[in-house]
Every structure is written in structure tokens, then in C-alpha cells.
Amino acid sequence: MKKKPVLKIRNLTKLYGDVVGIKDLDLDVYPGEIMGFLGPNGAGKTTTIRACLGLLQKTAGDVKIFGLDSHEDSIEIRKRTGYLPGDFGMYSDLKVKTILRYLLSQSGVSDESKMEELSALLELDLGRKYGNLSKGNRQKVGIVQAFMADQDLIILDEPTGGLDPLMQQKFYDFMREEKEKGKTIFMSSHILAEVEEICDRVAIIREGELQVVEDIHSLKEKMGKKLVVEFENSVDPDIFKIEGVNDFEIDGRRATMIVTSNLDEVIKKVSKQNVVNMSLDTFSLDQLFLTYYSRGGKGE
């Protein structure tokens, strides 16, 4: 039996006059998964998140979080939801620990153990004033406040901005541990590599419209594998007129193609030729994303 979604979005629309922020967006996020919300800047990721949390008045649609209405039950929802906005900022003159303790108290939590644990992991100095922190360390404050109340759903808007690669890896490991504990994480990003590394599923948004929602591994398989073959002699390109072979190109004795199905048949055709070199690579999410956007999405 399929679990009920923690976050259920139906026909969510936000218009700014005649400008479309998001349009007819449907999305489910299930318990215990890390869902990546992927798109370039301006695609509608932040608008979606703010509308879901009741921080932005939606034009139309319905959002349920824990089965509760996102606007009518927003206070109850926020008790169970940690949130890192993309524009997180705090009072410059306050010490980090003062800020975090205050925010923790607003969640009705007195246990500071998770706050201290994550601060130590990210090497965040709790004794420093917020205004004296670097951009990366300010982002760490935002990350800590999103997780420290140990809530059921964590929503993150571009969480790793400003973090160095080592801190990013530590944060990824931490998120995996949170997932193992049953937490649900919904994170927006335009950094393809991080979504590929840590997310179970990915939703791609383009110009305010959701293009695809899928398991990352399945999505890669659907987008195909890149096959590059260098032959000893020239070959007849017609032998690769096979269903599932796309974007075929041949330059002298070197052939390049994208194979989405019938890979076994393609390999059999290749094996009948004299092969000098061959490589077969699964699309990275980076290649997938660029290919998908270049085709215009939605099967175009």
C-alpha cells in the first residue's frame, strides 16, 4: 500500500498580473524521501515553496501538508516543518547561539543537542556575532535552524549556497542520516550534481510549469546512454537505423549516438565491425538536464 504524501500539491498557480510564476503544478512528496526540485534561477522554485508554506498568496490550487490545508492550518504545519528560505538573514549584532536559541524556543523545543551537534559538524562558531560571519557561515546558521527542532518535514531553498565542497559533503551525509531516521526533505536547487548525489526523486520545473517527476535512476535510463564507437574502417550508417537510437552522428570512422532502447541489438551490430575503441556512458543529471531543456521539455 502506497504511503500518503507528506506534501500534496494540486493545480498550484501563482500569477503576478499577466506574468506566470507557477502554473497548474501537481506534485507529491512522500515520507522518508529526499525530493529534489530542480530548475534554473527564475523557473518558479521559490514561488512554489513560499506558496506551499502560506508565505505567498496563491492564485489557485490546493496544498496539503500532513493532510492539513497549507493556509488555514499554517501554524500547525509550521510546528512540524523546518524551513530554510533562499534569502535567510538575521540581526547582525546578535550572537549565533542567541539567534538559534530564540528560534528553537519559537518551535516549543528546549533540547539544544541537535543544534549543537549540527553546529559542530559544520564547524559553526556559536559565539560569534551573525554580522561578522562570512556568507558560507551565515548559510550554516540557516541550515542549523532548519533542522535543530527535529521536525518531520524539512523544506530547503538552495541550501548549499556559499558552502565550500567539504562542507557540502558533510551536509549531504547529514541529510542521508536524517532520511534514515524517517525525515522527509524537499529541497530546491539549480546545482545538478548535488541533486544527483543525494535525492531519491527529482522534479524539473521550467518557466513555472512542472516538466517531469521521476526517480533519478529511471529518468537517466529513459534519457538513454551515450555510445561512442571508433571503427577500424568506415561503416554504413544505415546499420544503426534501429528503434531507440537517437542523435546519431558519424565523423569519419567515429560514430556517436544516444541509445534509449534496444541496446543489445545495437551492441550486436557494433560487434560485427572491427572496433578500435568504444565507450558507453549513462547520462549524468547535468547532461540529462541540458538535453531536456534543449528539447523544450514535455516530449518536444
State residue 294's pLDDT score. Answer: 65
Q: pLDDT category, 71, cuts 50, 70, 90?
A: confident
Distance CA 163, CA 134 (A): 10
State residue 293's pLDDT score. Answer: 67
User: Is the CB of residue 195 less than 8 Å from the CB of residue 217?
Assistant: no
Residue 136 and residue 110 share a domain: yes
Does 179 reside within a domain? yes
Does 255 reside within a domain? yes
Does 101 reside within a domain? yes
Burial class (CB in 10 A: 0-12, 13-18, 19+), 80: middle
Quick: pLDDT tens for 93-126.
Answer: 999 999 999 999 988 899 999 999 999 999 999 9
- What's phi and psi for 153, nearest 5 deg? -120, 130
Residue 269 and residue 183 share a domain: no
CATH number of the domain bearing residue 39:
3.40.50.300
pLDDT at 52 over 80: yes
pLDDT at 296 over 70: no
Residue 177 and residue 35 share a domain: yes
Residue 230 and residue 215 share a domain: no
Distance CA 116, CA 148 (A): 8
- Least confident range of 60-64, 145-149, 243-247: 243-247
What does the block give as the cell for 122?
A: 559544520
User: Is the CB of residue 84 less than 8 Å from the CB of residue 171?
Assistant: no
DSSP state letters, 278-290: EEEEEPPHHHHHH
State residue 100's pLDDT score. Answer: 96
State residue 49's pLDDT score. Answer: 96
Of 202, 220, 238, the position where a domain reaches its end is 220
Average pLDDT over residues 180-186: 97
Average pLDDT over residues 1-26: 92
Q: Taking Cα atoms as reference points, which of 101, 99, 100, 138 lies closest to residue 122?
A: 138
Quick: pLDDT tens for 129-168.
Answer: 999 999 999 999 999 999 999 999 999 999 998 899 999 9
Does 292 reside within a domain? no
53-57, 151-155, 237-241, 242-246, range with greatest mean pLDDT: 151-155
Domain enclosing residue 235, as ranges: 225-282
Share of the chain above pLDDT 70, in %: 96
Residue 84 and residue 214 share a domain: yes
Q: CB neighbours (10 Å) of residue 136? A: 15
Residue 57 and residue 199 share a domain: yes
Distance CA 56, CA 69 (A): 14
Residue 139 and residue 34 share a domain: yes
State residue 222's pLDDT score. Answer: 73
Q: Taking Cα atoms as reference points, which of 286, 293, 288 lies closest to residue 206?
A: 293
Residue 231, CB-side half-sphere exposure with 13 Å CA sphere? 18
Does 295 reside within a domain? no
Residue 86 and residue 208 share a domain: yes
Residue 139 and residue 241 share a domain: no
Global pTM value: 0.83
Of 220, 241, 274, the position where a domain reaches its end is 220
Q: How far is CA 271 from CA 210, 230, 277, 281, in A?
A: 41, 12, 11, 18
Distance CA 3, CA 161 (A): 32
Q: Taking Cα atoms as reference points, which of 230, 214, 264, 220 lies closest to residue 244?
A: 264
Residue 189 and residue 170 share a domain: yes
Q: How are strands ordered across the β-sheet holding 60-65?
A: 19-29, 7-16, 60-65, 68-69
State residue 299's pLDDT score. Answer: 41
Of 220, 238, 265, the position where a domain reaches its end is 220
DSSP state letters, 23-55: EEEEEEE-TT-EEEEE--TTSSHHHHHHHHTTS
> What is the SS3 assignment for 124?
coil
Residue 135 and residue 89 share a domain: yes
Q: pLDDT category, 300, cuts 50, 70, 90?
A: very low
Residue 257 and residue 116 share a domain: no
